[in-house]
Amino acid sequence: MTALPLDALGERARLAPAPSLPRRIAIVTDAWLPQMNGVVRTLTTTCDLLREQGHEVLVISPDLFASLPCPTYPEIRLALAPPGKVASLLQEFSPEAIHIATEGPLGMTARRYCARAGVEFTTAYHTQFPDYVARRTHLPAGWFWRYITWFHRPASRVFVATESIRGELREHKLGRLHHWSRGVDLGCFTPDAPPPPEFTELPRPIQLYVGRVAVEKNIEAFLSGQYPGSKVVVGDGPQIDELRTKFPDTVFLGRKSGRELAGCYAGADVFVFPSRTDTFGLVMIEALACGTPVAAYPVAGPRDIVTDDVGALSDELDRAMAAALFCDRKACAAYGATFSWEAATAQFLSGLAPVAEGALPSA
């Protein structure tokens, strides 16, 4: 098995903005703090690096507006932007590039404004939106793919993280796809991060899941496995009470971040990624950077990241865990260290579509 070529993703150069790159960048997103997930972490890290490099960044996000909880997913807030407010924010900022990160209400509003005005914009396919919604509504995913293809078709480029997702979008007749990978904070996620005290007395091997505790993450497939040792879940979400009741032997540590999270990765024997619907899986490369091998299903995301040297893929998670435990932890850490946020941010910049000065019409 070979991993996706990462377009020199291991290079760790901090690039000053070149004259041809946009300096004023508007990012419209329905996923933002205080949410904590891979999309939010990707966007916040990218914004931080862009600002460090001298770019001006306007983030149009739900915290700027009144909002309602998303049905079946209350942690996600759906913004209630007054008519014309997104347009006026964009006009006032006068961006040199507009990136629409999500397909929610704010993304829809910005897309409508740009498409009607003939202004170029880019989008990103961060999550398997049709599969997520299908799992929650019990309706066919194909119904929601119609919305996805309609939403992204006018974009100058659609940013995708892996080759598998690129192929899937092509099957749905979406073109102009641009590679935008992910990175790891290598100052935080290291093999020497101290494990949490809860790990001290746990039977080995410690099998770790990190992420949202929600039905679309397929965590029950991991927790119902029979592999000996201890199962640990780090994270929070709407399914946590149900899983605590159903799997009382599992250790639930709640949400962790920073060095505490790194210690959970480093102290585990194998990282288990049971999701079948993620487009990348940022937690996998964080675990690898901490020296922990990955066990996952052979689906989009894992099959683009996990090689035979750093983990194992199987339709039976227990079998994947058994194989991953034989991986060299030093090889895992070395491979994880090749994922650079600096290089990923350079990819983001190179894919943006320029907006001509004065091109934004009034709302």
State the Cα–Cα distance between residues 211 and 122, nearest whole angstrom. Answer: 27
DSSP-assigned beta bridge partners for residue 157: 122
How confident is the model at residue 361, as a pLDDT?
77
pLDDT (tens digit per residue) in 132-159: 665 666 677 678 789 999 999 999 999 9
The domain locations on the chain are: 24-183+342-351, 197-338
For residue 357, the model assigns a pLDDT of 81
User: Does the structure show a pLDDT above 80 at 98?
Assistant: yes
Residues 6+ apart with CB under 8 A from 337: 10, 184, 186, 289
Of 296, 285, 209, the C-alpha closest to 253 is 209
Domains 24-183+342-351 and 197-338 share a fold: yes
Band of residue 227 on the pLDDT scale cut at 50, 70, 90: very high
Rg (CA), the chain: 20
Predicted local distance difference test score (pLDDT) of residue 274: 98
The third-level CATH classification (topology) of the domain covering 197-338 is Rossmann fold (3.40.50)
**Residue pair 114/277 in contact by the 8 Å Cβ criterion:** no
Q: Is the pLDDT of residue 18 over 50?
A: no
Percent of residues, the chain, with pLDDT higher than 70: 90
Which of 165, 261, 136 minimizes the C-alpha distance to 211?
A: 261
Give the Cα separation of 209 and 235 in Å (integer).
Answer: 8
Alpha helices by DSSP H, the chain:
38-52, 85-93, 105-117, 129-137, 141-152, 163-171, 219-223, 240-246, 258-267, 282-289, 302-305, 317-324, 329-336, 341-351
- Checking if the pLDDT of 175 tops 70, the result is yes
State the average pLDDT over residues 85-111.
96
Summarised one tens digit per residue, pLDDT across range 256-287 is 999 999 999 999 999 999 999 888 999 999 99
What confidence score (pLDDT) does residue 363 get? Answer: 60
The type of residue at 305 is I
Peptide bond into 203 cis (omega under 30): no
Supply the pTM of this predicted model. Answer: 0.87
Q: Select from 3.60.110.10, 3.40.50.720, 3.40.50.2000, 3.10.20.340 the CATH code of 24-183+342-351.
A: 3.40.50.2000
